[in-house]
Structure 1
Amino acid sequence: IFEIISLSRLPANLWKRPLRSIQSFRQIFCLQRLWRMALATIPYAASPLLTPHCRRKVHSVISCQIDIVKAKQAPESTPSPAKLRIKIAGAWDALMRWSQRKSSYVSTSRRSSEAWAGVRKVVVFGGGSFGTAMGSILALQKSELEVVLLLRDEQLSSDINVKHMNSKYLQGCSLPHNVRATTNVAEAISGAQYAVHAVPVQSSRAFLHGIKDVLPPTTPLLCVSKGLEVTTGSMMSELIPSALGRCQPVVFLSGPSFAKEVLEKQPTGLVAASTDLQLANTVQALLSSPAMRVNTTSDVVGIETCGALKNVLAIGAGIIQGLGLGQNALAAFIVQGCSEIRYLVEAQGGKASTINGLGGIGDICLTCYGSLSRNRSVGVRLGQGEQLQDILASSSQVAEGVATAAVVVLLARRFRVSLPVLTGIAQILEGNISCEEAVNEIMGLPQIQGEA
């Protein structure tokens, strides 16, 4: 064994580790590899406990060990041990990469169990469509969990408790038995280990200021509100500590996710963004399920900027569809809008690569093309000639892009970034230009040379 360790250059104390310390596939595979190399006659690779893929990986490592033995016995007919050492290192690295992926997959349920340990209650601020959907998803993760929706509407609260359905925002979708609603702030927050913030951005400051004395400073917030505050131009990551007067642990959830499909347990991908990656990983474990995949990132600025401006872009996409300008124009419009969002993300210190993920292109495509998109619907009706005031008055749900568009011009000036598409949408919503005039201005932009 010592000779084999020296050949493969594995840690010399690896074989001394007691069996009780084995806690991962990686350690198990390391020990099994040493045993197999020392006892070449044991048919380890034929074990029924191993998957076919694992057997192939193990066979690859074993064949390298056999080659080394042959090289020592007949060096004139085989490659040198030094070359074979490189070969075995590559095979071993491949096995380790696979074992780490397998370990991560198998440990998901264990991580979820650990994350949920001690969690008895979750409060959801807001009873809109997505707040209700998130509360339901959490309730389904743990049957004994208490999920409380904190609402302002007494009638809606009573309706949810009696019918177990949010008939105002998610008609026809039943809620789990462990979801209830209340209008009592102290009752809702008391004893909650997590809070989901689903209050519209423009109402968030007043709401958070009103509950800051009741909400414990250590309770993590899962923020699903997307947009920019009109009066200050602040993102939620700036608004939350400002309204509470302190730093609160918070994770921002984003990604392509219509509330109705989330509630129906359709496959969905989200991103959990936080400066505290440990908290983001915990939220990942809380939400992950066969129907929910959650990635994590530390790029809060990028995720929030994409989540806010995609609503503005979706209004413009709806306008193009309402005008009947075709799919060519729509695709070109969305691409230009994505470029502008990326410019603004970079100008604010975020990562340009964020727009390539679920919180960027994923969310943008869903909001611009999806028939359930509220912001897109507003744009379609604008393109068809309706007035903005009439559109907003006829809708019970908030289209955050309308308010966010007013801040786009401010951001463009603050960060000195050219945003012709996004500012054009803002001009339409403010009534300064017509939809047709905005399209003509965009088509009149200088054409780019030397770039795709």
Structure 2
Amino acid sequence: LKLGEGHRVDLLVRKPQVCDQINEQRRNPLHLSEFEFPALVRATTDPAEAFADAQYMCHAVPVQFSRAALTEVKPHIAPDMPILSLSKGIEQGSLSLMCDLLGNIVGDEHPMAFLSGPAFAREIAAELATAVVIASHTPGLAAEFGAILSSDVFRCYYTPDVIGVEVGGAVKNVIAIAAGMCEGLGLGTNAMAALVTRGCSETRRLALALGASAVTIGGLSGVGDTFGTCFGPLSRNRQVGVRLGQGESLREILASSNEVAEGVATSLSVVELIKQNDRSYRLDLKFPILFGVAEILQGKRTPREGLLALMTMPLRIED
């Protein structure tokens, strides 16, 4: 946020000790502790205090925990308070994107917007150049949030295509796991480039089946976020894939990490979402990467078996 222009930010946190350290030492002891919070940021564990004078709400809870978190704070959300979701993924069980999940909690007519794009927290904190896209069905809301958040190093574009932005932000985490496995197996740059490119095609197919625009998938929330996640060193999902490719089990990887890799839960959900919304014959041939990652995470194939199977698929026209 443009904190230098007088915007105060209240962080609603769960752990009292984290809250105290943010307020007293201006740092989060669990994440990016080397960066200091601006003076206008304060933390609280009390929802009533956090929402007391709030004009806007930003939601940044992982998707699988979002329903419980939003239900807890719902009594404090004013009917006209705009909400910006920063969460990316598909809820297990309901197969809800964040736009559906948020609408279930606060109502579909509530002013909501959804941010996505290649935006790693560490680089934003270091004030490195970043561009994202904000989507909303509420007229003018995406541009309103963009004006609040944008600076010389953080640029916000906007679009009405909520589904496209949501699908791009969710599916790229699954593609990143596949890209990480490709690296962990040492399959080379050619294989990595082919896998990520074909992964973007699968994202586009799903987005179109859900009614989104192909233009959105070719933008920051689709291709942009996929490239950043697959080729950059900061992605948790990519690191999960690297470690799988190097022979570690998924259980070992998840047990050793304090951070959430959304792609693990999203992978199984995206396969079910495809089955519900695309009635094509042989979906495993239409979405081989997304189906393949799910099989690997379920232990039905090894990473090497799964990725090398992509090289023996029937030849076809590139689309």
Q: Which bin holds the TM-score, normalised by the shorter protein? A: over 0.9
Alignment of 1:162-201 (within 5 A): 162-201=24-63
Post-superposition Cα deviations, 1:21-52, rounded to whole Å, max 9, x if no partner, equal xxxxxxxxxxxxxxxxxxxxxxxxxxxxxxxx
- Counterpart of 1:272 in structure 2 is 134
Post-superposition Cα deviations, 1:211-230, rounded to whole Å, max 9, x if no partner, equal 11111111111110000001
TM-score of the aligned structures, taking structure 2 as reference length: 0.95
Distance 2:84 2:91 in 1: 18
Distance 1:160 1:389 in 2: 32
Distance 1:338 1:424 in 2: 15
Across the two proteins, how many residue pairs are aligned to each other? Answer: 313
Q: CA deviation at 1:209?
A: 1.2
Q: CA deviation at 1:373?
A: 0.6
In the alignment, residue 177 of structure 1 is paired with which amino acid? A
Aligned pair 1:431/2:299, yes or no? Answer: yes
- Counterpart of 1:443 in structure 2 is 311
Distance 1:152 1:310 in 2: 28
Q: CA deviation at 1:245?
A: 4.6
Distance 2:69 2:289 in 1: 33
Query: What's the % identity of the aligned pairs?
Result: 47
Distance 2:21 2:251 in 1: 29
Structure having the higher Rg: 1
CA contact (8 A) 1:139 1:147 kept: no
In the alignment, residue 3 of structure 2 is paired with which amino acid? L
Runs of 4+ residues over 6 Å off in structure 1 = none
RMSD of the alignment, in Å? 1.3
Post-superposition Cα deviations, 1:44-65, rounded to whole Å, max 9, x if no partner, equal xxxxxxxxxxxxxxxxxxxxxx
Distance 1:369 1:420 in 2: 20
SS at match of 1:213: helix
In the alignment, residue 162 of structure 2 is paired with which amino acid? V
- Counterpart of 1:318 in structure 2 is 180
Distance 1:348 1:241 in 2: 17
Alignment of 1:298-377 (within 5 A): 298-377=160-239
Post-superposition Cα deviations, 1:72-115, rounded to whole Å, max 9, x if no partner, equal xxxxxxxxxxxxxxxxxxxxxxxxxxxxxxxxxxxxxxxxxxxx
Unpaired segments ≥5 residues, structure 1:
1-137
277, 297, 307: which one aligns with 2:159: 297
Alignment of 1:32-71 (within 5 A): none
TM-score of the aligned structures, taking structure 1 as reference length: 0.68
Alignment of 1:68-147 (within 5 A): 138=1, 140-142=3-5, 144-147=6-9
Q: CA deviation at 1:432?
A: 1.3
Post-superposition Cα deviations, 1:361-384, rounded to whole Å, max 9, x if no partner, equal 111000001101110011000100
- Counterpart of 1:414 in structure 2 is 276
Distance 1:246 1:440 in 2: 43
In the alignment, residue 397 of structure 1 is paired with which amino acid? E
Distance 2:155 2:18 in 1: 31
Unpaired segments ≥5 residues, structure 2:
none
Distance 2:110 2:252 in 1: 38
Post-superposition Cα deviations, 1:138-186, rounded to whole Å, max 9, x if no partner, equal 15252x3221110111111111111101121112011101111111011
In the alignment, residue 308 of structure 1 is paired with which amino acid? A
Distance 2:132 2:55 in 1: 21
Q: Which has the higher helix share?
A: 1
Post-superposition Cα deviations, 1:420-440, rounded to whole Å, max 9, x if no partner, equal 111100111111111111013
CA contact (8 A) 1:228 1:404 kept: yes
Distance 1:430 1:324 in 2: 22
